[in-house]
A and B are shown apart, each in its own frame.
Chain A
Amino acid sequence: MQLVLEKRAERSNTIALVSPLIAIGLTIVTMTILFAILGKNPLLALHAYFVAPLTDSYSLQEIAVKATPLVMIAIGLSLCYLANAWNIGAEGQFLIGAVAGSWIAVKTQGTDAGAWVLPAMLVLAAAAGALYALIPAICKVKFGASEILTSLMLVYVADLFLDYLVRGPWRDPHGFNFPTTAEFDPVATVPLLIEGGRLHLGSIIALLVVAAAAILLGRTIKGFEIRVVGAAPRAARFGGFNANQLIILTFAVSGALAGLAGIIEVAGPVGHLQPGISPGYGFTAIIVAFLGRLNPLGILIAGLFLALTFIGGEQAQIAMKIPLDVTKVFQGILLFYVLACDSLILYRFKLVFPNRQVARGTG
């Protein structure tokens, strides 16, 4: 007796709907076991992770703040993945966007530059992110180089470049030798939505991005082309869709969104440019994109959920001394379960009896 996969006659819509929920459920079961192994009370740990952050206004705002970059990046990545273009270097595009936008902030520091500063920073960051993402896209389209590897390599390059800037030319002269720029001027800062709170304008931009992506994918020819090129490349060729053009387009859009997320993070919650501005947003956004089933609304929910794990992880560290790496393990396990459950949309398990197979002469 053996368990094997068998292709379903058609995709199961029931499983498509419940699969993210099953994945989250399985992840929580696994985490319970992991907490027990670590010698922590699983119930208290789960409470710290998933319930405690939802109980006070500061944490709720903090979840929205953390979800902002995750959702923006993941929306861009979902377009790439739908078109079967594998951008995994969003972390680098995020950093380059942060650097490019910070350039204006650093250069206008202490001058009487007006309200144009922040919009200019946002535009420049998006453009820089898009250009940075175009490197792997063009290498792929023109030369056939694997965009997976090139986009990932450029993450390290971006990281080192940022490090150079804040330790060298852009270092705050009054910063006690810490590798950071000076605090940005108020005109170079993303405004808060609630005075004295944490929620900032970036969250509104993220919501607009979600809406725009939903319209693009659901209501436009371009969105249709993106989905067809990924799902049925042969049909797309017959339809005259240009797959290479779509790789360029989706990479540019996702790079722009990652770059925008980068500058919003720096000019918003962080307030200055420094190394370590991202706890791996660019990589966590990959999980967000898949957990949200590459669907804009799904990504919004998934982004909030993963932001919850970031905040919960911090609270669990403070309250229960649970290492922060547990959050990464959690995110990795979650992605595994999401992918595994998604597989059951197209396939199902079936029991086979090998001895009967031999009798049929196929074993």
Chain B
Amino acid sequence: MELVEAIILAVLAASTPLLIAATGELVTERSGVLNLGVEGMMIVGAACGFAGAWLTGSILVGALFGIVAGTLMSLVFALMALGLAVNQVATGLALTILGIGLSGLIGAGFVGERITPAAHLYIPGLTDIPLIGRVLFGEDGFVYFSIALIVGVWWFLYRTRAGLILRACGDNHVSAHALGYPVLRIRTFAVMFGGACAGLAGAYLPLAYTPFFIPGMTAGRGWIALALVVFASWRPGRLVVGAYLFGAVTILQLHAQGWGVGIPSQFMSALPYLATVIVLVLLSRARTGGSTAPAALGTVFVPDR
């Protein structure tokens, strides 16, 4: 039973950065913008988040550093892809390349340093309940925040007028523009939200997942988050399922390595990436009756006057 509890806790921890980053990207893509730079924003968020926490000793300040860093990165993307109407795929790739370099530069001074990781919730009595106590009442703040975030995004997208307008921009920017909505401004906010989430997701890694910073520590999580949005058919509910499923694959392969199943560890480490490919293929195949992607996703929009 102890092991089951430990595995569930580990799965939640591994899923949280995926969930936060994918939630942000979901909002961005729902507004019609494909920002492929999630990995770059995450890794800069990780470096800045660690720097913030190490300098001030506060996890919260670290998280804020991560959010600000991710937002700044996304503003560069917005300037290019929205302001200058540059191809979004190429801009996203550029953002990732830039982010990997920047994070190395920022984080170089912090490699080898350690911080106290984010504290876990403890409610006497509740947290001590066997099996479910620590899972429900003993997580770090990021885990609870990620769940509040996705619920909030669901509510925003489907229960508010602003959410409806954002989705309208994503499905048909020409109509949204004709109705008088400031498409580019709305998209800029959506891109910034995506950047903030990616930055926070990146910061989660050195602040809560492992209490130190190593270059390249996001290890493709930003790309997996992008795949999760496709997996979720751009819907918040399915995103939660997908994120926890991928977290589970990550943790199970780690445990399988520990059990010594006789399969070389590199093959087990490749599982999350292979799973992403397989899932993308299966889902895209199942969806032959028309795409569920926002209709204007990734297309350039220059308002005519």
Identify the A interface with B (CB < 8 A): 4-7, 86, 88, 135, 139, 142-146, 148-150, 152-154, 156-157, 160-161, 163-164, 167-168, 283, 286-287, 290, 323-333, 335-336, 339-340, 342-344, 346-347, 352, 357, 362
Contacts and interface: CB of A to CB of B under 8 A. Distances in A.
Contacts of A346: 85
Given A328-B101, A340-B86, A160 B94 contact: no
B273 A156 contact: yes
B84 interface: yes
B302 A7 contact: yes
A339 B284 contact: no
B230 interface: yes
B interface SS class:
helix
B15 to A, nearest CB: 18
17 contacts: A144-B284, A145-B281, A149-B277, A160-B267, A283-B97, A290-B90, A323-B108, A325-B101, A325-B105, A327-B101, A335-B90, A335-B94, A343-B84, A347-B85, A347-B302, A352-B305, A357-B305
Given A5-B83, A145-B280, A343-B86, A164 B94 contact: no
Contacts of A336: 76, 80, 91, 94, 98
A329 B76 CA distance: 14
Nearest to B94: A335
B228 to A, nearest CB: 10
A160 B257 CA distance: 14
A159 B288 CA distance: 33
B277 A144 contact: no
Residue with the highest number of chain A CB atoms closer than 10 Å, among B76, B97, B285:
B97
A287 B280 CA distance: 27
Contacts, number: 152
Interface of B: 36, 76, 80, 83-87, 89-91, 93-95, 97-102, 104-105, 108, 215, 219-220, 223, 226-227, 230, 264, 266-267, 269-270, 273-274, 276-277, 280-285, 287-288, 291, 302-303, 305
A217 B147 CA distance: 51
A161 B104 contact: no
B273 A154 contact: yes
Nearest to A334: B94
